[in-house]
């Protein structure tokens, strides 16, 4: 048993070393803070949008209730907290506001089938919490300048 634990510990150490070395090119040291490369946030945003579209598709086919939107909103909060940086915040906020207005307009016109409306509401539920967090981060950054 002791040999098994020792071997497991060694495997964990080696895996951690490999992970650290694979992420080393993405880490930056700026102003005494260690941050990830900003392209990482865009990847998480795309993965979140893909997951939202997949869940919206499943909600239409299997007639799920709207509780899946809460999970999508939490995912949007996590993307906003962890992955949006100050350099890309203005463009993100501008595109989010434009998207929110367009989705609200198209949903109220009722020109599209229900599945398109469900996907739009799902994406809006993902992007809106992220936009709130990013806007709060941007306001804080502007206030501390």
Q: What is the pLDDT of residue 63?
A: 79
Residues 22 and 82 in one domain: no
Residues 27 and 60 in one domain: no
CA distance 119 to 102: 13
Tens-place pLDDT, residues 6-47: 665 565 556 545 544 554 445 555 565 545 555 666 777 888
Residues 68 and 111 in one domain: yes
Count of CB atoms situated within 10 Å of the CB of 44: 16
Residues 76 and 23 in one domain: no
Residues 123 and 138 in one domain: yes
Number of domains comprising the chain: 2
- For the residues 99-125, what does the mean pLDDT come to? 86
Residues 72 and 114 in one domain: yes
Give percent of the chain above pLDDT 70.
68
Give percent of the chain above pLDDT 90.
5
Q: For residue 54, list its beta bridge partners.
A: none
Q: What is the pLDDT of residue 20?
A: 47
Residues 7 and 64 in one domain: no
Q: What is the pLDDT of residue 129?
A: 92
What is the phi/psi pair of residue 111, to 5°? -95, -15
Residues 100 and 126 in one domain: yes
pLDDT of 91 higher than 70: yes
Tens-place pLDDT, residues 120-143: 888 899 999 989 988 888 888 888
Residues 63 and 78 in one domain: yes
Count of CB atoms situated within 10 Å of the CB of 19: 10
Would you give the distance in Å from CA 17 to the centre of its chain? 26
Residues 124 and 64 in one domain: yes
Residue numbers of the domain that contains 118: 38-144
Residues 25 and 60 in one domain: no
Residues 96 and 27 in one domain: no
């Amino acid at each position: 048993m002791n040999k098994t634990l020792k071997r497991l510990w060694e495997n964990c150490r080696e895996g951690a070393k490999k992970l650290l070395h694979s992420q080393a090119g993405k880490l930056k040291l700026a102003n005494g803070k260690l941050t990830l490369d900003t392209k990482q946030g865009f990847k998480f945003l795309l993965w979140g949008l893909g997951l939202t579209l997949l869940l919206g598709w499943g909600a239409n086919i299997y007639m799920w209730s709207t509780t899946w939107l809460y999970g999508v909103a939490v995912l949007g909060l996590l993307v906003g907290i962890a992955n949006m940086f100050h350099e890309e915040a203005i463009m993100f906020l501008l595109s989010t506001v434009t998207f929110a207005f367009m989705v609200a307009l198209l949903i109220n016109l009722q020109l599209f089938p229900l599945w398109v409306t469900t996907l739009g509401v799902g994406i809006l539920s993902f992007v809106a919490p992220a936009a709130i967090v990013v806007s709060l981060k941007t306001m804080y950054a502007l206030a501390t300048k």
